[in-house]
């Protein structure tokens, strides 16, 4: 694809949505190099030679048919033109010889014909006919030689036609081989240009996919950070609410403890007053006993309120959460000189 369009597509990719749009808009388009290579290939295909058409096949077929269907040799002297020529010549000579012989015989007999003259004439005529018949084997051999020469001539013509046909076909095949070599060359160039160009297109698609995944990962991380921040804010708020609730509960427990402490102090004060009144009413010998100025100690306070609760628990791990908390508060009270919160 064109390098310029590739740069334009990648330049506009700035986030996940733009990467997706770029993937949708990324359609393969042939580069100028690919188009030129394909044009050269198509032009070469248009120049493909047509099917081979023989210029000699009809003549070859005709000559071959003449050779294959040629009749075998036969000789009839009666139809031989040369025999007819010889026949006319020898017949004419025979007639002349017959006339000459008969004339000579007539001269011997005083000008009168005789059987001797007729016989001499017939004999002279038959001699020329015999010479004609002696020409027949010669004429037969001449006809046979002519038949053989015609067969050899037809075979030579056939071989010549086949040679011309072979030459034309070899020239055509050489032309086709040259065409095929050039076709392969143009096809390889077009294929190489296409693979290179389409490979660049695939690389761009892979790059767009990587950018889309990268921006998607960035968006996911940003979303996760917002979720974590929200969860942290909610946790802080919850902790603040829990702290406020704990402070409120602690304040309420302090208030209850103060009320109980005031009640117990009042009860102790009342008991002291009651004990004083009782001491005033005892006999005189009791006056010599030391006064009971008992004040509740921390241990007495603990035994009064918590010892019965802790009875039977020798293993600290078996204590309930509330009991462990009460012990912790008691220890805290022992360090700060104040009772545990109720």
pLDDT digits (tens, 9 = 90+) for 42-76: 999 999 888 989 888 999 999 999 888 888 888 88
- Tens of pLDDT, residue by residue over 212-238, are 888 888 888 888 999 999 899 988 888
3-state secondary structure 58-69: HHHHHHHHHHHC
Share of the chain above pLDDT 70, in %: 74
Closest by CA to 50, choosing from 179, 165, 167, is 179
User: What number of other Cβ atoms are within 10 A of residue 271's Cβ?
Assistant: 11
Q: How confident is the model at residue 261 (pLDDT cuts 50, 70, 90)?
A: confident
Measured CA to CA in angstroms, residue 236 lies from 69, 223, 230, 240 at distances of 118, 20, 10, 6
Burial of 323 (0-12, 13-18, 19+ CB in 10 A): middle
Closest by CA to 40, choosing from 185, 192, 199, is 185
- Tens of pLDDT, residue by residue over 119-178, are 767 777 788 788 888 888 888 999 899 999 999 999 999 999 999 999 999 999 999 999
102 vs 186 pLDDT, higher one? 186
Q: How confident is the model at residue 329 (pLDDT cuts 50, 70, 90)?
A: low
Is-above-0.75 flag for pTM?
no
Q: How far is CA 278 from the centre of its chain?
A: 114
Burial of 124 (0-12, 13-18, 19+ CB in 10 A): buried
Measured CA to CA in angstroms, residue 192 lies from 38, 171, 308 at distances of 11, 32, 97
Closest by CA to 17, choosing from 201, 221, 216, 223, is 216
| Backbone φ, ψ for residue 278 (5° rounding) | -70, -35
């Amino acid at each position: 694809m064109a390098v310029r369009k590739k740069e334009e597509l990648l330049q506009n990719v700035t986030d996940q949505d733009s990467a997706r749009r770029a993937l949708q808009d990324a359609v393969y388009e042939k580069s100028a190099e690919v188009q030129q290579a394909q044009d050269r290939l198509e032009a070469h295909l248009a120049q493909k030679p047509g099917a081979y058409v023989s210029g000699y096949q009809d003549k070859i077929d005709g000559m071959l048919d003449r050779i294959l269907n040629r009749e075998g040799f036969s000789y009839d002297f009666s139809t031989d033109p040369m025999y007819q020529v010889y026949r006319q010549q020898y017949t004419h000579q025979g007639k002349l010889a017959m006339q000459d012989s008969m004339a000579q015989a007539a001269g011997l007999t005083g000008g009168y014909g005789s059987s001797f003259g007729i016989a001499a004439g017939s004999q002279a005529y038959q001699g020329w006919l015999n010479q004609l018949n002696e020409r027949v084997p010669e004429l037969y051999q001449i006809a046979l030689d002519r038949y053989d020469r015609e067969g050899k001539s037809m075979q030579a013509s056939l071989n010549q036609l086949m040679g011309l046909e072979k030459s034309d076909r070899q020239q055509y095949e050489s032309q086709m081989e040259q065409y095929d070599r050039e076709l392969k060359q143009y096809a390889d160039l077009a294929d190489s240009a296409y693979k290179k160009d389409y490979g660049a297109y695939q690389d761009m698609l892979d790059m767009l996919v990587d950018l889309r995944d990268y921006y998607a990962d960035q968006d996911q991380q940003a979303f996760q950070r917002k979720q974590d921040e929200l969860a942290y804010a909610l946790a802080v708020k919850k902790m603040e609410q829990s702290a406020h609730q704990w402070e409120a509960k602690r304040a309420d427990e302090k208030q209850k403890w103060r009320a109980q402490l005031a009640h117990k102090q009042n009860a102790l004060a009342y008991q002291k007053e009651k004990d004083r009144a009782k001491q005033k009413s005892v006999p005189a010998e009791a006056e010599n006993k030391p006064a009971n100025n008992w004040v509740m100690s921390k241990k007495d306070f603990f035994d009064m309120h918590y010892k019965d609760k802790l009875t039977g628990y020798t293993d600290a791990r078996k204590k309930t959460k509330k009991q462990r908390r009460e012990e912790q508060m008691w220890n805290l009270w022992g360090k700060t000189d104040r009772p545990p919160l109720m």
